[in-house]
C-alpha cells in the first residue's frame, strides 16, 4: 500500500485528524473514508489513529492510499520523463499519441507507455493525468501516481501553451467567447452564444512570413479552446485543418504545452518546468524563440 505523510503545523494544534486531513492536507472525503477501511489506514506518530484523534504540532500523520491501477496494457514505448518523484511524473507527450487507448490506438497511447515505465521501476501502474492534451498536441503532461495527488492538483496546474498561428499578430489580447459543439458534430467545437464561457489570454512572441508564434494562458479549460478561439478571430493554428488551418507547413496542429507550474500536493514546494518546441515547430521559428 502507498501512503503519504504530513507534519502537523502549529496552526492545527488540538485539531482532529479528520479536520487536519480535510483542511490542511486537502484530502477528499472519499479518500478519507477509504483510508478508514484499510488496516492502519490512519496513523499518528506511527500508532493507529481514528478520524477523531486529537493532534499536536509536530505530529507525523500518515494516510494510506487505496490503489487504483490503470487498466491500460503496459507497452514498451519511448517515454520522455522530465521530472518525477514518489507522487508525480511529468512527461513530454509527442504528437500522434493519444492520452488513452482508443480505436486505432489500442497499444500506443501515453497510458500504455506510462504503465510500462512504472511497472519496470517496480511501481504500481497508476495513471492519473491532471489534464489532457489532444492527440496531436505536444508538450508537458502532469501525471499523478495516486488518487490523492490527482485530487490535490485538479485545476491547480498553471500552464503556458505555445502555438504557430496563421497571419501576423503583434502585442497581446484576450478572447472571451463561449464555446460549444458545432451543430451536427460530435467533436468539433465553435464559438456560440449558448456555449460554456471560455477565456484565452494570448501574447505574440514573434512574427514570421505569414504566421506568428504566440504564447497562451487559459482561465478556463474547454475542449479545443485555443484552436477554436484562434480560428474565431481569423488566425487558426498551422496544421489545424479541423478549424481552417493550413497544412502547407505542418501536418498537425502547431500547439505545444511549453510550461507548467504547481504546488506539490505533499511537500507544498513549487515545481516549475519548461519544454522547448518540438522539432517540427522549432524548424519554423528562429532558434531564439523556441
User: Looking at residue 290, what is its pLDDT?
Assistant: 52
Give 62's DSSP letter.
E
Topology annotation, domain 2-65: 3.10.290
Domain boundaries, the chain: 2-65, 67-156, 159-256
| pTM listed for this prediction | 0.92
Q: What is the pLDDT of residues 165-219, one digit of tens each?
A: 999 999 999 999 999 999 999 999 999 999 999 999 999 999 998 999 999 999 9
Residues with active-site annotation: 134
Rounded distance, CA 237 to CA 280, Å?
Answer: 14
Dihedral angle sign, alpha carbons of residues 25, 83, 111, 225 = positive
The stretch 107-124 carries a mean pLDDT of 97
For 119-147, give one letter per residue: b (16+ CB within 10 A) or e. Answer: eeeeebbbbbbbbebbbbbbbbbbbbbbb
Instruction: Report the percent of the chain where pLDDT is more than 70.
Output: 99
User: Looking at residue 209, what is its pLDDT?
Assistant: 87
User: Looking at residue 289, what is its pLDDT?
Assistant: 55
The stretch 19-27 carries a mean pLDDT of 93
Does the domain formed by 159-256 have CATH 3.30.2350.10? yes
Please provide the CATH number assigned to the domain covering 67-156.
3.30.2350.10
Rounded distance, CA 244 to CA 62, Å?
Answer: 53
User: Looking at residue 1, what is its pLDDT?
Assistant: 79
Instruction: Give the distance from CA 122 to its chain's centroid.
Output: 24
91 C-beta neighbours (distance < 10 Å), count:
21
| Per-residue pLDDT at 287 exceeds 90 | no
Same CATH topology for 2-65 and 67-156: the answer is: no
Amino acid at each position: 500500500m502507498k501512503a503519504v505523510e504530513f507534519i502537523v503545523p502549529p496552526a492545527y494544534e488540538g485539531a482532529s485528524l479528520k479536520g487536519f486531513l480535510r483542511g490542511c492536507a486537502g484530502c477528499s472525503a472519499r479518500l478519507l473514508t477509504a483510508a478508514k477501511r484499510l488496516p492502519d489506514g490512519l496513523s499518528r506518530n506511527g500508532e493507529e489513529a481514528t478520524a477523531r484523534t486529537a493532534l499536536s504540532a509536530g505530529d507525523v500523520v500518515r494516510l494510506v492510499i487505496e490503489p487504483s491501477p490503470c487498466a491500460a496494457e503496459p507497452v514498451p514505448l519511448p517515454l520522455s520523463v522530465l521530472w518525477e518523484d514518489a507522487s508525480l511524473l511529468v512527461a513530454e507527450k509527442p504528437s500522434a499519441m493519444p492520452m488513452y487507448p482508443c480505436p486505432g490506438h489500442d497499444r500506443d497511447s501515453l497510458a500504455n507507455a506510462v504503465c510500462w515505465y512504472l511497472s519496470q521501476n517496480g511501481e504500481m501502474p497508476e495513471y492519473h493525468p491532471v489534464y489532457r492534451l489532444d492527440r496531436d498536441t505536444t508538450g508537458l503532461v502532469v501525471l499523478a501516481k495516486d488518487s490523492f495527488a490527482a485530487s490535490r492538483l485538479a485545476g491547480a496546474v498553471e500552464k503556458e501553451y505555445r502555438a504557430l498561428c496563421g497571419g501576423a499578430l503583434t502585442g497581446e489580447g484576450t478572447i472571451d467567447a463561449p464555446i460549444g459543439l458545432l451543430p451536427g458534430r460530435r467533436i468539433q467545437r465553435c464559438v456560440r452564444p449558448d456555449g460554456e464561457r471560455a477565456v484565452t489570454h494570448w501574447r505574440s512572441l514573434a512574427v514570421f512570413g505569414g504566421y506568428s508564434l504566440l504564447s497562451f494562458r487559459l482561465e478556463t479549460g474547454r475542449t479545443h479552446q485555443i484552436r477554436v478561439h484562434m480560428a474565431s478571430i481569423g488566425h487558426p493554428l498551422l496544421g489545424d485543418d479541423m478549424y481552417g488551418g493550413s497544412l502547407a507547413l505542418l501536418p498537425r496542429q502547431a500547439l505545444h504545452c511549453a510550461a507548467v507550474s504547481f504546488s506539490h500536493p505533499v511537500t507544498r514546494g513549487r515545481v516549475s518546468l519548461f519544454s522547448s518546441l518540438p522539432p517540427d515547430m522549432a524548424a519554423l521559428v528562429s532558434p531564439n524563440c523556441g
